[in-house]
Amino acid sequence: MHGLGNIDYEKINRRVKICDYLVVAQLFLQDNFLLERPLEPKDIKPRLLGHWGTCHGINVVYASLKAALGDEAEFVLGPGHGFPALQANLFIDGELEKVDKHATRDEKGLAYICKSFSWPSGAPSHASPATPGVICEGGELGYALASGYGLALGHPEKTVAVLIGDGELETATALASLNLVKLLGSHKANGRVIPILHLNGYKISGPTISARKSERELAQQIRGFGYTPIEATEENLAEKLRTDVKHPFIIFRSEKGEGGPIRFNGKKIADNFLSHQIPLKNAKLDIKELKTLEKWLKSYDFKLEDIR
């Protein structure tokens, strides 16, 4: 059915690593983007404002979707605070350069996207209509699924994958939008919607309700709305996205902040709400945090060739 051949997980993993590096670089760096010398306080932005926790999962979904369905699927991103991940993907695919001539896939373009992220008169910290393909301001959670059904309405040729945060699923809008499968999902004149719940367990400052449900209880809830729940992880998400079931609902389990600092100053950061925004907030002033950041950036083994 999908003429895209076997799924290459190694390729997916490499793409995710590249995008994860680009995320961390956008969040922290104002210079030394290729780590050609040891990281210094002057390389760090004076005001760190953005979101790390959701980004690795977004990068996994983006890469898996591309590998599984190619250009067959359209992607709707609910958690617009994961903008550095969206921007990283658009940058390496050359989509950003099509609308912004400064976003070239070279050292200059890398410096440009990092420096201008979350910067006065640069790019905002959330997805905004200045980004290719983005039609809504990305700050308000809840509208992704309804927007996805809107895209599929009257377009039987379309497949729309919608990423919904598990915190986002606690909004009235997102929760009520689950019902749209009953209105649009069964009519031949409409396209197909694949909701993907990003179950990373935490929202801003605590756990999510979906994460506190057992696998069975969550599946029952999803089934009750008329979907077939499909459990997925980073290791098999691409295959799961190729499902042929009529109304799939992917439950993608990931660790919030995966790949970042696991613990810092005695506190658990990864797989916890403490990774939601910026971990290592004092990286400019605190040498221990700066060194931890440098190790984190180096863990991705990023090279300039990766973006060419």
Ligand X SMILES: Cc1ncc(C[n+]2csc(CCOP(=O)(O)OP(=O)(O)O)c2C)c(N)n1
Judged by phi (left if over 0) then psi (alpha if -120 to 50, else beta), residue 256 lies in: beta
Nearer to ligand X, 114 or 141 (CB): 141
CA 150, 153, 158, 162 torsion: positive or negative? positive
Instruction: Decide: is 56 part of the binding site for ligand X (CB under 6 A).
Output: no
Tell me the CB-side half-sphere exposure of residue 7, using CA atoms within 13 A.
Answer: 21
Q: Which of 54, 118, 131, 190 binds ligand X (CB under 6 A)?
A: 54
Instruction: Decide: is 140 part of the binding site for ligand X (CB under 6 A).
Output: yes
**Helices and strands of the chain, counted as H and E runs:** 11, 7
Instruction: Decide: is 29 part of the binding site for ligand X (CB under 6 A).
Output: no
Nearer to ligand X, 45 or 256 (CB): 256
Q: Which of 53, 84, 148, 261 binds ligand X (CB under 6 A)?
A: 53
Binding mask 168-197 for ligand X (x = CB under 6 A): x--x--------------------------
The amino acid at residue 35 is L
Nearer to ligand X, 190 or 275 (CB): 275
The amino acid at residue 161 is A
> Crossing angle of helices 83-92/55-69, nearest 10°?
40
Q: Which of 81, 192, 253, 284 binds ligand X (CB under 6 A)?
A: 81
Instruction: Decide: is 33 part of the binding site for ligand X (CB under 6 A).
Output: no
Q: Which of 109, 165, 185, 259 binds ligand X (CB under 6 A)?
A: 165
Q: Would you call 45 exposed, middle or buried from its count of C-beta atoms within 10 A (0-12, 13-18, 19+)?
A: buried
Nearer to ligand X, 131 or 208 (CB): 208
Tell me the CB-side half-sphere exposure of residue 3, using CA atoms within 13 A.
Answer: 2
Distance CA 29, CA 102 (A): 18
Distance CA 247, CA 184 (A): 11
Size of the site for ligand X (CB under 6 A): 21
Nearer to ligand X, 32 or 272 (CB): 272
Instruction: Decide: is 206 part of the binding site for ligand X (CB under 6 A).
Output: no
| In the complex, minimum distance from the CB of residue 266 to ligand X, in angstroms, rounded to a whole number | 23
Stretch that binds ligand X, among 12-20, 93-101, 105-113, 139-147 (CB under 6 A): 139-147
| In the complex, minimum distance from the CB of residue 121 to ligand X, in angstroms, rounded to a whole number | 23
The amino acid at residue 228 is T
The H-or-E segment that residue 195 falls in is strand 192-199
Instruction: Decide: is 208 part of the binding site for ligand X (CB under 6 A).
Output: yes
Q: Which residues pair with 195 in a beta bridge?
A: 162
| In the complex, minimum distance from the CB of residue 55 to ligand X, in angstroms, rounded to a whole number | 9
Q: Which of 166, 255, 258, 289 binds ligand X (CB under 6 A)?
A: 166
Strands across the sheet containing 192-199: 73-77, 159-165, 192-199, 248-253, 228-232
| In the complex, minimum distance from the CB of residue 79 to ligand X, in angstroms, rounded to a whole number | 4
Instruction: Decide: is 142 part of the binding site for ligand X (CB under 6 A).
Output: yes
DSSP 179: T
Site residues (CB under 6 A) for ligand X? 53-54, 79, 81, 139-142, 165-168, 171, 198, 200, 202-204, 208, 256, 276
